[in-house]
Structure 1
Amino acid sequence: MSDLYTKRLRGLVRTCGENLGLSLREGVYYFAVGPQFETPAEIRAMRILGADAVGMSTVTEALTCGHMGMDLIALSLISNMAAGVLDQPVTGEEVDETGRRSAADFSALIREIVSRLE
C-alpha cells in the first residue's frame, strides 16, 4: 500500500490538468469517519500528522482496489476550508456551492483522463 497511487496515473492526471489549464495539487489525504465536519482541534492534530486535505470518502475504496492489484488514482475536489482555518463555520451549503461552481472543470478533467487511458 506504500505506492497505492501509481506514478503513471499521477503523471497522466498532471498532464490532463495542465492541458485544461487547471491548478492541481498532490498531497496527503487524511480520512475522517464522518458524517460530521471536523472540529478545529481535530484539524490542528491532522495538520501535525501531515494532512493537506481531509475527507470522509476515498480511502476505503482505494484500499479495496489496492488489495485487488488495480492501478489507481484518487481525485478530490476540495470543497471547503476546514473548521478553524477561517473565522466562519463550515456549512453544507458552502460545500454544495463549491461543487456546483467546480462541476464543469472537474467533469472536463475526468473526461480528459478517461479519454487517455490505455
Structure 2
Amino acid sequence: MPRSAYITVRVSPAERTSIVARSASCGMAPSAFVREAALLRDTSPARVADADGLRRIRVDLKRIGNNLNQAARALNAYGTDEPALGMLRDALGPVSEAAASLAALLSKENDHEP
C-alpha cells in the first residue's frame, strides 16, 4: 500500500539529531525508524545488521567450510593420520575466530538497543 498520508511531529533540534543518529545506526531512514518505533511499541524494532561485517563473516565461514570439507574427505579416505588431524586443527581455529566475530557483531548491535 503506498504511503501518502502525513503526520507532522515537532521535535527539538537535539531530539532530531538523536532520531537521525539512532535511525542511521539501525540502517533505517528516520521516517521508517519513527514509524516502526510507533507501530511496534510493544515489540522490539527491527534492526538491520552491519551488512559489511556479516558479508566478511560469510566469506570466512565459506572458506572454513571448504577446509573442513577437505579435512573430512581426507579422514574418510585415509583414516585418522597426523596430516589429516593437522588439517582439521587448522580449520577449527578460524571457526572459533568467525564465531567470536559474529558474537562481537551481535553484541555491538545489542548495545544500540534503546
- Fold shared, TM-score > 0.5 on shorter chain: no
Of structures 1 and 2, the one with the larger relative CO (CA 8 A, separation 6+) is 1
Q: Higher Cα Rg: structure 1 or 2?
A: 2
Q: Going by fraction, where is strand more abundant, 1 or 2?
A: 1
Q: Going by fraction, where is helix more abundant, 1 or 2?
A: 2
